[in-house]
Homo-oligomer: A and B are copies of this chain.
Amino acid sequence: MPKESKLQIIPLGGLGEIGKNTTAIRYNNQILIIDAGLAFPDEDMYGVDLVIPDYTYLIENKDLILGILITHGHEDHIGGLPYLLRHFNVPIFGTRLAIGLVQYKLTEAKLGQITTQVIQPGETIKLGSFAIDFINGSHSIPGSVGLALHSPLGTIIHSGDFKLDHTPVSGEVLDIHKFSELGDKGVLCLLSDSTNVERPGFTKSERLVGENIDKAFAGAEGRVIFASFASNVNRLQQAITAAFKYHRKVAAVGRSMVNVVSIAAELGYLHVPEDTLIDVDEAMCLPSNQVCILTTGSQGEPMAALTRMANHNHRQISIYPGDTVILSASPIPGNEKAVSRNIDQLFKLGAKVIYESLSGMHVSGHASQEELKLMLSMVKPKYFIPVHGEYRMLMKHAELAVQVGIPRENIFVAEIGNVIEFTRHGAKLANNVTAGRVFIDGLGIGDIGSSVMKERSLLSQDGILIIILAFDSATNTILTGPDVVTRGFVYVRESNAILDEVKAITRETIARSIQNGIHETNLLQNRVRDAVSRHLYAKTKRRPMVIPIFQEV
């Protein structure tokens, strides 16, 4: 008897958190992956560089994977590819800019052998039992699409990241006709972007930012230093347009800014008038009112170009009175303090700083409530899965869907690893698959777990105190030491007294333990650790990690 056909939606990232968007769509023994993003670490992920999803499910089923569909070229949608594709080789499908950015990334990771294929918005491709429509979207990067995956059990629509922008800078308009048409034909399930679900109304058009950018350029006397996400290509376009209008040459600074500008310009997504783009070195030689610098660092990232400029340690560019610095991005939650520090520093250096909360220099690339309702109304899905948001946003998006008329029992506020399974008879949650987050620290992928993180957290709070001695267990005597080494605990030069106390307590504890018949090094170390920890807490109310190391000679 043939098993009943099943269609499964398996979110592996981007639910309950922002970033690392990765979703598996499985029809019987065929898997498609939508996006493969990464996330940046929270401040309590000590030493972590990047976060990717746990790929166990995909690796275990790698022979079933037909390909990876990319909705757009942002890091939270493509940044995981180099880590995913070391496990298997499957083709990648996306629009021209998305694929351009993907190829750069793969080449850097020495994964140039991976097949990529450029798909035009409006095109349909066939992979296994799936037919897939690439549907024009509208977002802060050109070449953003939504996807319709037609399977024998019905159509799944993934909104991608989108907003409704009737006057987009890129000329790309959300294809409401296509979404509506699909809705009319019947959609089994919609997955839709929840990023801005907490905002009422409509998100403003990118073009409004352009007007403010124009004004800022018109009023600028010295250099214009324009900071934004490198990946916000539409924003860069507007800065370049303004620069050209006001007779300024443009130089890109910061690795990702240089890359994106060159890739987007080469692929024709960024329209740069001839002779406008120059090197930073050239820019340094021009009069300041003929210069515009595009730079990274709008989030206050410690190593980014603008942060270095603010702190006076950028190799090439210093900030001078008369410079106008435009921050054309909102701080992502968690970055507010770092951004504020940069702004303060730039002001102190004499720059005129134009930043978002005062200036209309940023609009979001994501749909607000009314646009989200429009998407739901156009698509009229039978089932709905809010994606791309923290848990409370998914909940809120579910509420909107109920308002629009989707029955509450047809909405899945899912977590990563959940399997939402469709058969001819309906939908249900099937057994979970392995899912989670994997930390990347340096070259290590997934080797930093909760125990190492806990140690880093403890070390960051009160440091470490190490007690070393050489011990002759034959005679029960201390041969050398105890010596005490600390890091991050106290300022050693002013702390001789307490370190002497630690030594005395170590000697006493050992002597007393031996009197009580305790000789084993491990036990002695434990007793000393406890006694010293207690003493340090009583004296300082701090809890450094205490590590006694007794060498038996």
Contacts and interface: CB of A to CB of B under 8 A. Distances in A.
Contacts of A42: 337
A540 B448 CA distance: 12
A542 interface: yes
Interface string A476-503: 0001110101011111001100000000
Contact of A490 (B452, B469, B490): B452
B443 A540 contact: yes
A117 B358 CA distance: 42
A444 B490 contact: yes
Interface string A459-474: 1111110101110000
Interface string A85-122: 00000000000000000000000000000000000000
Interface in A428-467: 441-444, 447-449, 451-453, 455-464, 466
Given A456-B461, A553-B479, A333 B337 contact: yes
A340 interface: yes
A488 B43 contact: no
Contact of A392 (B198, B344, B391): B344
Contact of A444 (B16, B392, B542): B542
A449 B490 CA distance: 9
A487 B455 CA distance: 6
A262 B198 CA distance: 36
A470 B551 contact: yes
Contacts of A464: 459, 464, 487
A279 interface: no
A42 B340 CA distance: 12
A316 to B, nearest CB: 25
A489 B452 contact: yes
B466 A455 contact: no
Interface string A189-207: 0000000001000000000
A551 B198 contact: no
Interface string A108-152: 000000000000000000000000000000000000000000000
A269 interface: no
B198 A452 contact: no
A372 to B, nearest CB: 14
A336 interface: yes
A334 interface: yes
A508 interface: no
A545 B456 contact: no
Contact of A447 (B46, B487, B494, B551): B494
A3 interface: no
B539 A480 contact: no
A494 to B, nearest CB: 6
A552 interface: yes
Contacts of A16: 344
Contacts of A441: 462, 542
A12 B347 CA distance: 21
A460 B456 contact: yes
A449 B491 contact: yes
Contacts of A489: 452
A463 B456 contact: yes
Contact of A460 (B46, B333, B395, B448): B46
Contacts of A455: 463, 487-488
A333 B340 contact: yes
A487 B391 CA distance: 33
Nearest to A466: B466
A494 B452 CA distance: 12
Interface string A397-433: 0000000000000000000000000000000000000
B333 A334 contact: no
A313 interface: no
11 contacts: A16-B344, A47-B461, A340-B392, A347-B392, A347-B395, A353-B392, A452-B463, A452-B490, A456-B461, A480-B552, A483-B551
Interface of A: 16, 42-43, 46-47, 198, 333-334, 336-337, 340, 343-344, 347-348, 353, 355, 357-358, 390-392, 395-396, 441-444, 447-449, 451-453, 455-464, 466, 468-470, 479-481, 483, 485, 487-491, 494-495, 539-542, 545, 547, 549, 551-553
Given A336-B336, A447-B491, 14 more contacts: A43-B43, A47-B461, A47-B463, A347-B391, A347-B392, A441-B462, A448-B491, A456-B460, A458-B488, A459-B488, A468-B468, A470-B551, A480-B551, A551-B551
